[in-house]
Amino acid sequence: MHPIVTVGSVAFDSVKTPFGEASRVVGGAATYFAVAASFFTDVRLVGVVGEDFAEEHARVFAGRRIDTAGLQRVPGETFRWKGEYGFDLNTRETIYTRLNVFERFRPVLPDEYRSTPFVFLANIHPALQTEVLTQVERPRFVAADTMDYWIEGTPEELRAVLRRIDALVINDEEARQLAGESNVVKAARAIQKLGPRLLVIKRGEHGVLMTRDDGFFAAPGMPLDTVMDPTGAGDTFAGGFMGYLASAPETTDEVLTRAAIAGSALASLAVEDFGLDGLLRASSKTINQRFQAFKRLTHFEVL
Amino acid sequence: MHPIVTVGSVAFDSVKTPFGEASRVVGGAATYFAVAASFFTDVRLVGVVGEDFAEEHARVFAGRRIDTAGLQRVPGETFRWKGEYGFDLNTRETIYTRLNVFERFRPVLPDEYRSTPFVFLANIHPALQTEVLTQVERPRFVAADTMDYWIEGTPEELRAVLRRIDALVINDEEARQLAGESNVVKAARAIQKLGPRLLVIKRGEHGVLMTRDDGFFAAPGMPLDTVMDPTGAGDTFAGGFMGYLASAPETTDEVLTRAAIAGSALASLAVEDFGLDGLLRASSKTINQRFQAFKRLTHFEVL
């Protein structure tokens, strides 16, 4: 069992889907990641919030294996995002993104975080991702997320990050864009040449595709009759994935495979309610049940 | 082992993808279906071609378990279709569709076809699908495909078909459209209420999702580094699926599950080359290898 340090956004989200809306609820990539990973191991959170982030909001971290010593509290307002989803939840329009205190965020790892063996760099400026890596002493396993904005806008800084990480956790569209290659297998191989040994491609409702030493692993999305809000599903997947990895003694192909299912299980629980609610309600029992449900969903006998 | 009768288009296709093009090659839904299903059982083909469909073209059926007694040859030109695929092969533009002899096609089953226990109605006018069903004596298992054109244009005729079939094999967009429901689980339940006990939802590169008595089965698409031409992949899937079902003594959940993998295996072999070439080159050996590859791609141990 190893602790994980994660760096990324802690935010107030407002979201509207065809099934309802949530206003100014706690969200952000690092939040979803931390809550998900904390089901499996100790999580150390690095981020920033404003003075409007009150004790009631910090409650999402309380009673969990989440250390918030690295969560800076500074004058100003917390990062805010508002988005609206279309009819089939596969399209999303950003109404606004207000960086607020996140605009001047410089990640600073408390001394006791610096030897954390597992690191997850959520989707932030690649220069900040590098700043984090310079503060961690010989991490054992580093994973990162990124997005189209950095792929286009800061390609050199992103390449410097890619050279230093073990795993990239990324959307399929972004994988194709980063590689400049429409075939997803070729795109994966091209990205591996840029640094990360492991590539985990997130496909929304279609699940994930992951490279392994011994060939790809694919997990479909769990068919759910209630999907309320997909916000944070990708970060929740990453949290379950990394949390499971960090809880295992070794990072073998078998462990990576189960980690992808752990991430998928948590993401499937998260999207069944608005914001963090589905994830906060998860338990070892419901996670194990979802794990078994994934087995029933995908397994077959070869005659 | 039971024979299958299939009714649908036999065509000349011209196709352009980012990786090359094929001009006036034999295609059509019933062709892909018949060749795929013939790896598992005897197939009886009902369709129509024109005088331009020469012996060299009929060669795609020769030496296989395909009976072409029901393939009418009439004056005029064979159905022609031309399409062009976009960068990532997920979008397709139809350049033209020339129905030609297919425009006046009325399916007539040779007497010896009338007691065929397995029936596949490829994507044709639902009124013609019904005409076929009136000619088959108490079939054991009937599956059908359809498309947006019939869902919008002939909803009553389509509903009459749905009431008489065991399985509907359909694209995800079309399932959502037919059900008027964006959630795919709810859409599946709604379509089952219209008649078919079994729904197989085709998701292109993301594989298939299938209802079973005991919960959904999902097979992801096989990650392939060479996808030349997706034309006919859905009909090839249906052929492998139905062929496997017809070759089994019973249609249990386990058999349905393996049938979905058989269909996926054949479809994955088909798209690796243009037109029918990938499928014509398939063998028991390559199909079994692909079956095993699907197991490696998807299986995991629950600890």
Task: Let me know if residue A98 belongs to a domain.
Answer: yes
Domain count, chain A: 1
Task: Say yes or no: B187 contacts chain A, CB-CB below 8 A.
Answer: no
Euclidean distance between CA atoms A189 and A197, whole angstroms: 9
Span B229-279, pLDDT tens digits: 999 999 999 999 999 999 999 999 999 999 999 999 999 999 999 999 999
- Residue B198 has what pLDDT? 98
| Predicted confidence (pLDDT) at residue B88 exceeds the cutoff of 90 | no
Which residues of A fall within a CB distance of 8 Å from B293? 215
| Predicted confidence (pLDDT) at residue B303 exceeds the cutoff of 90 | no
Number of cross-chain residue pairs from A and B with Cβ atoms under 8 Å apart = 109
Residue B1: pLDDT band with limits 50, 70, 90: confident
A217–B298 CB contact, under 8 Å: yes
* Beta strands across the sheet bearing A217-219: A66-73, A43-49, A4-7, A118-121, A141-144, A167-171, A198-202, A208-210, A217-219
Task: Let me know if residue A122 belongs to a domain.
Answer: yes
Residue B228: pLDDT band with limits 50, 70, 90: very high
Task: Let me know if residue A205 belongs to a domain.
Answer: yes
Provide the percentage of residues in chain B whose pLDDT is more than 90. 95
Task: Say yes or no: B182 contacts chain A, CB-CB below 8 A.
Answer: yes
Residue A88, domain CATH: 3.40.1190.20
| Predicted confidence (pLDDT) at residue A24 exceeds the cutoff of 80 | yes
How close A21 gets to chain B, by Cα (Å)?
Answer: 18
Interface list for B 252-281 with A (CB within 8 A): 254, 257-258, 261
Task: Let me know if residue B104 belongs to a domain.
Answer: yes
Task: Let me know if residue B181 belongs to a domain.
Answer: yes
> Cβ–Cβ contacts within 10 Å for residue A155, how many?
12
Task: Let me know if residue B303 belongs to a domain.
Answer: no
Task: Let me know if residue B235 belongs to a domain.
Answer: yes
Euclidean distance between CA atoms A163 and A133, whole angstroms: 11
Span A66-120, pLDDT tens digits: 999 999 999 999 999 999 998 878 789 999 999 999 999 999 999 999 999 999 9
**Mean pLDDT for the stretch of residues B4-20:** 96
- Residue B238 has what pLDDT? 98
Residue B87: pLDDT band with limits 50, 70, 90: confident
| Predicted confidence (pLDDT) at residue A303 exceeds the cutoff of 80 | no
| Predicted confidence (pLDDT) at residue B61 exceeds the cutoff of 80 | yes
Average pLDDT, chain B: 96
A292–B301 CB contact, under 8 Å: no
A225–B186 CB contact, under 8 Å: yes
- Give the chain B residue whose CA is nearest to the CA of A254: B300
| Predicted confidence (pLDDT) at residue B165 exceeds the cutoff of 90 | yes
Q: Which structural domain range is residue A44 located in?
A: 4-298
- Residue B89 has what pLDDT? 82
Task: Let me know if residue A303 belongs to a domain.
Answer: no
* DSSP 8-state symbol, A11: E
| Predicted confidence (pLDDT) at residue B162 exceeds the cutoff of 90 | yes
How close A15 gets to chain B, by Cα (Å)?
Answer: 19
A297–B182 CB contact, under 8 Å: no
Write a three-state SS string for chain B.
CCCEEEECCCEEEEEEECCEEEEEEEECHHHHHHHHHCCCCCEEEEEEECCCCCHHHHCCCCCCCEEEEEEEECCCCCEEEEEEECCCCCCEEEEEEECHHHHHCCCCCCHHHCCCCEEEECCCCHHHHHHHHHHCCCCCEEEECCCHHHHHHCHHHHHHHHCCCCEEEEEHHHHHHHHCCCCHHHHHHHHHHCCCCEEEEECHHHCEEECCCCCCEEECCCCCCCCCCCCCHHHHHHHHHHHHHHHCCCCCHHHHHHHHHHHHHHHHHHCCCCCCHHHHHCCHHHHHHHHHHHHHHHCCCCC
- pTM score of the predicted model: 0.95
- Residue B264 has what pLDDT? 98
Q: Among A87, A185, A261, whose Cβ lies nearest the Cβ of B224? A: A185
| Predicted confidence (pLDDT) at residue A30 exceeds the cutoff of 80 | yes
Q: Which of A180-194, B83-97, B98-112, B258-272 has the lowest mean pLDDT?
A: B83-97
A291–B302 CB contact, under 8 Å: yes
Which residues of A fall within a CB distance of 8 Å from B190? none
